[in-house]
A and B are shown apart, each in its own frame.
Chain A
Amino acid sequence: MSPMPFFDPIRFGIEITYTIIAVCLFFLIYFRTKEMYTLTEYKGIMFFRGAFLFFALAYLLRLFLISSRLYSSSPTFFIRDFFPLSLIFVSYFSTLGIILLIFSITWKYIKSAHLVLYGHLISLLLTIIIILTNSSEILTYIQVGLLIIATIFGIIFNKKTDRSKKSTQTRMLYFLLLLSWLLNIWMLTPGWFFPSEVKSLFQVLSLVVFGAIYYKVSKWLK
């Protein structure tokens, strides 16, 4: 087996720890809001829960993506073959997570009964683009576009309705959640030019954002 020149055990350990914490927080949000949804079958809660479920899956698959990158120079190691497959699932789950988060705040203004279907179709379309290009950079560009759309929707619907200071803070957390994801994907591309310490700092800050969202959720779970 050829050597793995870019393998950094400390960096990989940090990635595993980061992923475990992030995925646990997202799954906790998903499972702990289950009763609320079962009782009400409220669409907004369904989109909200779905967003965190797919973010959890995306972060989990991102770890496979990192693993396959680490072993990419090995001619025999089978993990390198996971790269295209991991990228497909990461693209699909993360795009769907972003779209469901957008729908969770806009569904009341979009009069359609097929939003979930549209979410899957848009995610599928973007995933096909990723399959054709096999590039995590393209995924970053597409999702930056989605972040811009989400921000515009956030501003438009915030002005349209008289929202409280609390919900404005929540929208800021949503923005940071999406930004964290994009930074995490950008870190995997050759275009990432910051040192490893900056990468770790971004990850710590993103965990603070995830923790803040979980704290806000848990306040209402009695």
Chain B
Amino acid sequence: MTKKRDRLEVIFDILSIISQNNNSIKPTPLLRQSNLSSSSFSEYHKELISKNLIKELYDKKGKKFVTLTDQGFNYVSKYKYIKGFISEFDL
């Protein structure tokens, strides 16, 4: 049985998916690839926008895309260190 992901890990996974898709992905494939229920995904989505980790953009046809902000890229690049810090200090 796989271990349940913690909140930080879920956020990292969502941000990584966006990053791996050339920093531009539609919400539906993001939901599918993130392996979350639609209600959980919706909560995370709102949280990430409120924390300025992601932002929503619209193309010329009015389709919605999700991209990472600088803060989001920063989270992805520092995730390994953050997890290491939390583990070392038992936080």
Interface residues of A (CB under 8 A from B): 33, 35-36, 39-42, 44-45, 47-48, 104-105, 163-164, 166-167, 170-171, 216-217, 219-222
**Docked CA distance A45–B88 (Å):** 12
Contacts of A41 in B (CB 8 A): 51
Q: Considering residues B51, B71, B89, which has the most beta carbons from chain A within 10 angstroms of its beta carbon?
A: B89
With A39-B71, A222-B78 already in contact, the answer to whether A167 and B51 are too (CB < 8 A) is: no
Q: Is the CB of B91 within 8 A of A105?
A: yes
**Docked CA distance A80–B15 (Å):** 57
Stretch at the interface among B16-24, B28-36, B55-63, B79-87: B79-87
Tell me if B's interface is mostly helix, strand, loop or mixed: helix
With A39-B74, A39-B75 already in contact, the answer to whether A44 and B82 are too (CB < 8 A) is: no
* Contacts A/B (CB < 8 Å), 15 sampled: A33-B85, A39-B75, A39-B78, A39-B82, A40-B82, A42-B8, A163-B90, A166-B87, A167-B89, A219-B88, A220-B81, A220-B82, A220-B88, A221-B85, A222-B81
Q: Is the CB of A42 within 8 A of B91?
A: yes
Q: Is the CB of B91 within 8 A of A45?
A: yes
Contacts of A170 in B (CB 8 A): 88-90
Contacts of A221 in B (CB 8 A): 81, 85
Interface residues of B (CB under 8 A from A): 8, 11, 51, 53, 71, 74-75, 78, 81-82, 84-91
**Docked CA distance A34–B8 (Å):** 16
Contacts of A35 in B (CB 8 A): 74, 78
Q: Is the CB of A36 within 8 A of B89?
A: no
Q: How far is the CB of B6 from chain A (nearest CB, A)?
A: 10
Q: Is the CB of B89 within 8 A of A216?
A: yes
Q: Is the CB of B88 within 8 A of A40?
A: no
With A39-B71, A41-B51, A42-B8 already in contact, the answer to whether A104 and B89 are too (CB < 8 A) is: yes
Q: Is the CB of A36 within 8 A of B85?
A: yes
With A220-B84, A221-B81, A222-B81 already in contact, the answer to whether A44 and B71 are too (CB < 8 A) is: no
Q: Is the CB of A167 within 8 A of B87?
A: yes
**Docked CA distance A205–B53 (Å):** 42
The 8 Å CB contact of A44, one of B11, B78, B81, B86, is B86
**Docked CA distance A26–B11 (Å):** 30
Contacts of B91 in A (CB 8 A): 42, 44-45, 47-48, 104-105
The 8 Å CB contact of B87, one of A39, A47, A164, A217, is A164
Contacts of A216 in B (CB 8 A): 88-89
**Docked CA distance A47–B91 (Å):** 9
Q: Name the residue on B nearest A161 (C-beta).
A: B90
Contacts of A45 in B (CB 8 A): 85-86, 91
Top 7 nearest A-B pairs by Cβ distance? A44-B91, A220-B85, A167-B90, A220-B81, A105-B90, A39-B75, A220-B84
Known: A39-B74, A219-B84. 5 other contacts (CB 8 A): A39-B82, A42-B82, A42-B86, A217-B85, A221-B81
